[in-house]
Amino acid sequence: MPSVVLGITGGIAAYKAPELVRLFKKAGIEVICVPTAEALEFVTPLTLRTLSENPVYTDLFFESKNPAEKITHIGLAQNCDLIVIAPATANIIGKIACGIADDLLTTVVMASDKKVMIVPAMNTKMWENPIVASNVEKLKKLGYIFCGPVKGRLACGDSGVGHIEDTAEIFSRAAELLKKKK
């Protein structure tokens, strides 16, 4: 069974993560959710655990009850087929672009040799910020895959590019990457 680590970051678009989990599960793809502390302001571990039927990893220092289990971020990085970060904030994009690994999600990304699909969601001005644009270009050159953002109505009331891609499209792109891996 293919396995996806679903990283969820702290933007309002995090409310889409449970639907993405459902799409993966319906397709027979195992989902391991790794929300950041900020993501937990928008979606609960109980929701993610119920839909994924797996533990939700929220802490860099998670201690397994199984002494044979690998260090959490190493195990997650090695035992997945794909990492999807949806939504991905400007913050997480910047941290990954600079090699910062200061939480569970960023340490999983840094410890992995698997494909990483980043699904940005943020205010248009943030998306168009030259620093964010530079970070995105850097990551693309390094082989990171981007899905979106698209034009739409944003949480702040503005309309423009920065809206998270549709969950069906995110799922479709991830499923295609999993097929290529096989």
DSSP letter string over 56-80? B---TT---S-TTSPPHHHHHHHS-
How many of the other CB atoms lie within 10 Å of CB of 168? Answer: 11
Q: How far is CA 31 from CA 23, 97, 126, in A?
A: 10, 25, 29
Q: CB of 115 within 8 A of CB of 146? A: no
Give yes or no: 156 in active site.
yes
Q: Which of 33, 98, 147, 156 is catalytic?
A: 156
Bond from prior residue into 149 cis (ω within 30 degrees of 0): yes
What residues are labeled active site? 156
